[in-house]
Amino acid sequence: MRLATIRTATGTRAVRTDGDVAVETGDADLRGLLSHPDWAARAATATGLSHQVDGLDFAPLVPSPEKIICVGLNYRDHVLEMGHQLPEFPTVFAKFAPALVGAHDDIVLPRVSQQVDWEAELAVVIGAPVRRATAEQARAAIAGYTVFNDVSVRDWQRRTTEFLQGKTFEHSTPIGPWLVTPDELPEGGWEISTVLDGETMQRSTTAELVFSPVELVVYLSEILTLHPGDVIATGTPGGVGHARTPPRYLTDGATLVTAVAGVGELRNVCRQEKG
């Protein structure tokens, strides 16, 4: 099943997509849908207003998650390109909801930096409250997966040892276009990529993850309760702009395409923030 949050003339709506048709579930957004314990049955049997998928205006998949938890240095190839050792524990930081944009929205490049970088990521969306999960409980708590780009403002990120400030600039982080439930996806790794203005910058597979989605849910649920609609971004593979020689960054007018095979594709144009 594929679920999304779309913008309509009367506000956002959660929808189930069936081929070229999207059907409203009766909820304002995906977080609202996932708050129902029977969300899967509710979505599968929804018969609300329908829309053509072609031309949908995708809002951020979860417009206002309680938590956006990000994981750094979680692909073997990226860890090595950044000159680090494989981690013993996940590197965890956060974003805030104002950073999020929809699957086809513009990415705003902050006027205070010329070092804005791309980071293709697979994201997990939580579908049930979970605390101190076993692996089995963690797997059951995953509603599905989506595509995420952890756009990073590198010079601000590196101002201090705590790098949240470079990770949560407003209107910088695309997510979507939809959530794909685990039963829709094959076992094993899924190709993940970033293409910038037609040139492939990142190409790897989620099989390179150091800590799997289930392991991350187990780990994070020891720290705090995960709730429906929470987003976990699982890290980026090698090929980021900051690690290149010379470094390469996003520029005004550039088109960034982020994809995870079987999950979806983001297509965003970068726009310089107005002074």
Separation of alpha carbons 26 and 194, rounded Å: 34
Which residues lie closer than 8 Å to 56 by C-beta, 6 or more apart? 4, 6, 15, 22, 177
* Contact in structure between 272 and 239 (CB atoms under 8 Å): no
Helix (H, G, I), strand (E, B) or coil at 268: strand
Share of the chain above pLDDT 90, in %: 93
Q: What is the pLDDT of residue 250?
A: 98
Looking at domain 60-272, its CATH class is alpha beta
Is pTM beyond 0.85 here?
Answer: yes
Task: Give 39-88 pLDDT, tens digit per residue.
Answer: 999 999 999 999 999 989 999 999 999 999 999 989 987 777 777 788 89
Which run of H or of E encompasses 218? helix 213-223
Separation of alpha carbons 103 and 99, rounded Å: 13
DSSP letter (8 states) at residue 119: -
Q: What is the pLDDT of residue 20?
A: 95
- Sequence spans of domains, the chain: 1-58, 60-272
Is 80 exceeded by the pLDDT of residue 274? yes
